[in-house]
Amino acid sequence: KTPNKKIESYFSSNGIVSGKLGLSKDEIKDSFLEKTFYGLGRIPALATQNDFYTAMAFAIRDRVLRQFVRSTQQFNEKDARGVAYLSAEYLPGPHLGNNLLSLEIIKETREALAEVNLDLDEILDQEVEPGLGNGGLGRLASCYMDAMATLGIPSIAYGIRYEFGIFKQEIRDGWQEESTDKWLHYGNPWEIVRPEIAYEVHFGGKTESGIDEKGNYSVAWNADTVIKGVAYDTPILGYKSNGIIMRLWKAEAIESFDFSIYNSGDYYKAVEKKMRSENLTKVLYPNDENLQGKELRLKQQYFFVCCSLKDTIRLHLLQGRKLDQLHDKFTIQLNDTHPSIAVAELMRLLVDEHKMEWEKAWHVTRHTFAYTNHTLLPEALEKWSIDLFGRLLPRHLEIIYEINSRFLNELRELQYSANKIARMSLIEESGEPSIRMAHLATVGSFKVNGVSALHSRLLKEQVLNDFAELWPDKFTNVTNGISHRRFLVVSNPALSDLISEKIGRDWLTDLYKLKGLEAFAEDEDFQKKWMDIKLENKKALSKHIEEYAGVKIDPTMMFDVQVKRIHEYKRQHLKVLHILSLYRRIKKGEGERISPTAFIFAGKAAPGYFMAKRIIKLISSVADLVNKDPDVNGKLKVVFIPNFNVKLAQRIYPASDLSEQISMAGKEASGTGNMKFALNGALTVGTLDGANVEIRDEVGKENFFLFGLTTEEVQQTRQDGYRPSEYYEQNKELQGILDMLISGELSNGDTELFKPIFENLLQQDPYLLLKDYQSYIDCQEEIHEAWRKPKEWARMSILNVANMGKFSSDRSIQDYVEKIWNLQPIKAD
């Protein structure tokens, strides 16, 4: 396309790309008013709070987009090597607050709004967040976008634009109830639809091999369904710098109407086909760590992978490059195995569509992909039945068979035993034949990483052991990190200001600078200010809790918090056993060493996960019992806050005193909530699991409450033959607590309600709650004692924050750049 010189010179000379952004209070006010009246067409008397939010979002989006256009131009000019990040999930959280920070106009915007009698916090509160993920994995992808933008990594983040994100959780009568998340109901001011960026995606049908016009062997895939993927772009701004794009694909029908049916007069049938196509990106699967091989999920995965790879190839060719150099210009990072069908799809695109030889295509492919594993749980490792896969993606099945047959031949040449070859195969033959997606991702990538030091080690020793022995250099670790700008600067402004007063603002781009706080850890005046801010944050959270959970909490209590997806391996029910132990001591008049504590829970359970839902009901029942008992006299409070999401998380971390990270060792790949709590000055009680290990190393073992078995002790316990009932028999306090579950005391006399939990713990106890119980209780006693020494506590809290430098997502992304991506960041000037 020939460039329009007039427009280009206007761009560069009139300040659109290079000039002022319009960030003064008056300019922001003017844009805001203009967007309210001309952008939304509202007369002042009728404008709602939501209109004001939308108008402000539009005003800010203009400025965000300018930054993005500028970065893209620079990336292109430098012909830079870049990253395409493929993730089926993102949890960006509210955009407005973060964009204001990135543009450094929080104060100006607050003042601009105040001049028209509006309050920035109320406007920020209007934003409905995109819940396009289940939990840690999706949020990690978004933290990485923030860091990639800030560091100037030429990158694009691909995913799925689910019309309905993770369900909305309500608690009724103590039970979780799900309703659809209509995040697009009021429109989405942050996204830009790009109808011209669209790709066809094929499904089903058959393949046919033959000789093409040039006399070469070729395969044609005659699909029976075609769907279109359309790009929706959301700019993600880095702090004071670049912008990158999150490009999400929405499924659409190829034609709005099937004209042959339409002409025959059946209008409804004609539209039906369109509706079926659009179903593909309707809803996010709400399961975490447990995958049933559902056809629609495989369709979603292939759909977004196909669009993303075609788009990456388009961007590559647009730069005038050759396809056989793809790996020189791009790394495609696979966020878990959800996009791992990309290995077969890239082969298909190169071999079938671009007519590249197999060997060459395989070279390009296995030098393009890198794979991040996020789980060791067997039930979460993706497998697709050959039958389903072959029906939906017949050509990809052939390609996977071919990759596998060549790979297994290599293993045979290495004289591997038949057993070992069967273990490593991409195809599982026992039971229902299926494809092991983690093996496909590993064989098809040049690097494989885990997400914490412990997890990466276990990955090499257990799940991918054979592969790690074959290719030791392929395996590496990148410990997860979090956006400290979102989770401290934006969500805890008072603490951030106090920190900056003492050590300046360099920590916003270099979190290791927090180390400077160590010098003030003993300073009593500083400690007081530190704890006063915590108290204010706790008051604010208490207000929210009273409004949304109907429980009144005294903000001077210790806030002991466990927020994360509800899962047996995360052991929310171990926390419940602790609460019941305290309750029983108080009832017996032995509660004098208990510090007044509010136990705060939040988190969603997968809708089909029976035990997780029962655990929510158990927490609510314990809350009813404890909160109402006059003997407890307000010394303990228990609350379950409904609908945990990024927005709520941003209120909770700043208000927490104690962070519960109590998964059974070896099960939590990393955890990232653990980092967000500690960054906000909460002390951690935790096991040696995931990134807890590294947090403890950083903050010092004297500033971390450790309990429980190590991974090795867990394995040993299993080997020795674990009998949980022995712990029940021997530990009378534990016995009394467990008996409460089936006594009816918690359930209006219903002795059956919590029997499944009771029996599970007594008979299997797969996550060793009973084994870890006493160690946890002892540790909690230490914690309650520490809480009674406020200066000590404040000192430990400050030292935790001071040593969180390692856990910024900026550091993680820097690690990816050095260990995996091998590219040069380009900072906007």
Residues in contact with ligand F58 by CB under 6 A are 89, 134-137, 140, 287-289, 291, 374-375, 380, 451, 480, 668-672, 690
Per the CB < 8 A criterion, the answer to whether 600 and 641 are in contact is yes
Task: Please confirm, yes or no, whether 35 is among the known catalytic residues.
Answer: no
Q: Provide the minimum distance between the beta carbon of 451 and ligand F58 in the complex, in angstroms, as a whole number.
A: 4
Among 206, 587, 648, 146, which Cα is nearest to 395's? Answer: 206
Tokens standing for 555?
A: 């903000």
Distances in whole angstroms, Cα of residue 474 to Cα of each of 333, 342, 389, 470:
14, 19, 28, 9
Out of 485, 529, 570, 614, the active site residue is 570
Out of 672, 684, 687, 711, the active site residue is 672
Q: Provide the minimum distance between the beta carbon of 668 and ligand F58 in the complex, in angstroms, as a whole number.
A: 5
Q: Provide the minimum distance between the beta carbon of 140 and ligand F58 in the complex, in angstroms, as a whole number.
A: 4
Distance of alpha carbon 561 from alpha carbon 564, whole angstroms:
10
Task: Give CA torsion, residues 309, 311, 316, 318, to 10 deg.
Answer: 160
Per the CB < 8 A criterion, the answer to whether 206 and 394 are in contact is yes
DSSP state of 320: T
Residue 715 CA, distance from chain mean position? 29
DSSP state of 337: S
Task: Please confirm, yes or no, whether 570 is among the known catalytic residues.
Answer: yes
The widest CA-to-CA distance across the chain, in whole angstroms, is 90
Tokens standing for 80?
A: 């830079």
Per the CB < 8 A criterion, the answer to whether 810 and 150 are in contact is yes
Distance of alpha carbon 620 from alpha carbon 173, whole angstroms:
8
Of 375 and 537, nearer to ligand F58 (C-beta) is: 375
Rg (C-alpha) for the chain, rounded Å, is 28
Of 126 and 692, nearer to ligand F58 (C-beta) is: 692
Task: Please confirm, yes or no, whether 565 is among the known catalytic residues.
Answer: yes
Q: Provide the minimum distance between the beta carbon of 88 and ligand F58 in the complex, in angstroms, as a whole number.
A: 7
Tokens standing for 622?
A: 């314990």
Distance of alpha carbon 32 from alpha carbon 45, whole angstroms:
16
Q: Provide the minimum distance between the beta carbon of 691 and ligand F58 in the complex, in angstroms, as a whole number.
A: 7
Of 483 and 496, nearer to ligand F58 (C-beta) is: 483
Of 199 and 389, nearer to ligand F58 (C-beta) is: 389
Of 635 and 676, nearer to ligand F58 (C-beta) is: 676
Paired residues of 600 in beta bridges? 561, 639
Distance of alpha carbon 817 from alpha carbon 824, whole angstroms:
8
Q: Provide the minimum distance between the beta carbon of 817 and ligand F58 in the complex, in angstroms, as a whole number.
A: 18
Distance of alpha carbon 99 from alpha carbon 331, whole angstroms:
27
Q: Provide the minimum distance between the beta carbon of 711 and ligand F58 in the complex, in angstroms, as a whole number.
A: 14
Give the SS3 label for residue 101: helix
Of 108 and 129, nearer to ligand F58 (C-beta) is: 129
Tokens standing for 592?
A: 């004098």
Task: Please confirm, yes or no, whether 672 is among the known catalytic residues.
Answer: yes
Residues in the chain: 829
- Nearest residue by C-beta to ligand F58? 136
Phi, psi of 482 (to 5 degrees): -125, 155
Q: Exposed, middle or buried, 715 (CB in 10 Å: 0-12/13-18/19+)?
A: middle
Distance of alpha carbon 829 from alpha carbon 826, whole angstroms:
9
> Which residues have a Cβ under 8 Å from the Cβ of 109 and sit 6 or more positions away?
25, 28, 56, 60, 100, 120
Out of 374, 484, 578, 795, the active site residue is 374
Task: Please confirm, yes or no, whether 312 is among the known catalytic residues.
Answer: no
Out of 228, 460, 485, 676, the active site residue is 676
Out of 139, 439, 565, 575, the active site residue is 565
Of 477 and 774, nearer to ligand F58 (C-beta) is: 477
Of 139 and 614, nearer to ligand F58 (C-beta) is: 139
Of 293 and 736, nearer to ligand F58 (C-beta) is: 293
Among 453, 452, 427, which Cα is nearest to 438's? Answer: 427
Q: Provide the minimum distance between the beta carbon of 290 and ligand F58 in the complex, in angstroms, as a whole number.
A: 7
Of 558 and 669, nearer to ligand F58 (C-beta) is: 669
Q: Provide the minimum distance between the beta carbon of 278 and ligand F58 in the complex, in angstroms, as a whole number.
A: 22
Phi, psi of 791 (to 5 degrees): -70, -40
Q: Provide the minimum distance between the beta carbon of 756 and ligand F58 in the complex, in angstroms, as a whole number.
A: 23
Out of 70, 564, 573, 647, the active site residue is 564
Active site residues: 374, 564-565, 570, 672, 676
